[in-house]
Chain A
């Protein structure tokens, strides 16, 4: 008898909370899944968005791959902004986004970074194979987009084989930055935007030569199962607008090509 009452109670409270925490379908609110690297830029854009249009933007920051998985399993997301094209391609192939709304909204550049007080002076990527250089950190190419681009650049620059035994693979870009800052490694490869938040802990030694890696594009799109296409589109429009682009530039991103 007791457990029957408990079950009723559970369902009741579930429904009540559903009303209490409004689903994204309600007008004026959207849920944006975005790569963590976009956090500060997007948070700033969202407050502009709220002031200008009254739309409430809720964020779900995470690793692009994880966000993709969530959308595939039916997460109630309205907009997806990925740090890599692969994740968006996969969703598009599965028919989970509204293809017409897909845009590249930002780009990024690959940089070589060193500790603020480097023991060795590096001036370009080609300095890396020097014997004085110990370990070099990059994001793990398997899971970190920045790592994939780093590998591509190193391969194209014919530095990959020489550097392979000295590479330290990190789980995310933050880790790479930490390693460099603490001097655990002598150099690291990250995005220029990652350096926007670093205050004197590390320094950019060089920019990867143009053409050594494919253009880094950040795609954004409206999810097909959205309950609020209009507001979702308005958010994307804002990101692409000069206002949005200015914010992104502030945080180290470049305009998409």
Chain B
């Protein structure tokens, strides 16, 4: 039970964190730099999972993606396949819940950079994309990394939305937090204790390593 939950957690969280890092940074940049119609509505929608209890977010997700859902129904009719109760659902649920954290962090980091740096780059003939990769990203790097660590931490502990959309199927969708919950309820305290320790150990290690690696270079 422990090992399958651990493997699943690592798989789900790695993929989710990857998706979140890219999507969150891109959306954060969009919000920071561009005005467009419906921006406020999109912003509110992206913030929603942070405000709602994860179970409610999971509920909305399953309404959307379940076999009877808005998107899930046509998908099922077309392919006979539903995303609910698969490990992909766990990734989706985790991503939905942790993405707002990344967007906010990335947006704040990007907004904190003096716009004239990017303007200088554009005036020297560089496109917006090149400016983003060569100037914005390096300068906002620390803030964005902090956002990634934050999202990772949130993803690792994600429970409510995953339970709703992906179910609690050992070997298929039962991540560590779900396994711990099940063990506690079923009175399997030994298992619960060990899993909690492993979860804590991994989280602390990752955050610690990230902080060390992102320490600023020694200034002469």
Give the B-binding residues of A (Cβ under 8 A): 14-15, 17-18, 21, 23, 25, 31, 33, 36-37, 39-40, 58-62, 66, 69-70, 73-77, 172-174, 177, 197-198, 225
Contact = CB atoms under 8 A, between A and B. Distances in A.
A25 B185 CA distance: 30
B175 interface: no
Given A74-B72, A197-B186, A66 B169 contact: no
A149 B72 CA distance: 38
B66 interface: yes
Contact of B81 (A18, A33, A177): A18
A66 B187 contact: no
Contact of B83 (A14, A174, A197): A14
Contact of B163 (A17, A58, A62, A77): A62
A74 B84 contact: yes
A74 B88 CA distance: 16
A225 B88 contact: no
Given A14-B83, A25-B80, A60-B167, 18 more contacts: A31-B169, A36-B182, A39-B186, A58-B169, A58-B171, A59-B170, A73-B63, A73-B66, A73-B67, A73-B68, A74-B68, A74-B69, A74-B72, A74-B82, A75-B84, A174-B184, A174-B186, A197-B186
Q: How large is the interface on B (under 10, 10 to 19, 20 to 34, 35 or more residues)?
A: 20 to 34
9 contacts: A17-B86, A40-B186, A61-B168, A61-B182, A70-B84, A74-B73, A74-B76, A75-B62, A225-B67
B69 A62 contact: no
Contacts, number: 88
Report whether over half of chain B's contact residues are helix, strand or loop; otherwise say mixed.
loop
A17 B185 CA distance: 31
B85 A31 contact: yes
A198 B187 contact: yes
Most chain A beta-carbon neighbours within 10 Å: one of B85, B88, B186: B85
A25 to B, nearest CB: 8
Interface of B: 59, 62-63, 66-69, 72-73, 76, 79-88, 163-164, 167-172, 182, 184-187
Contacts of A23: 81
A74 B66 contact: yes
Contacts of A61: 168, 182, 186
Contact of B67 (A66, A74, A197): A74
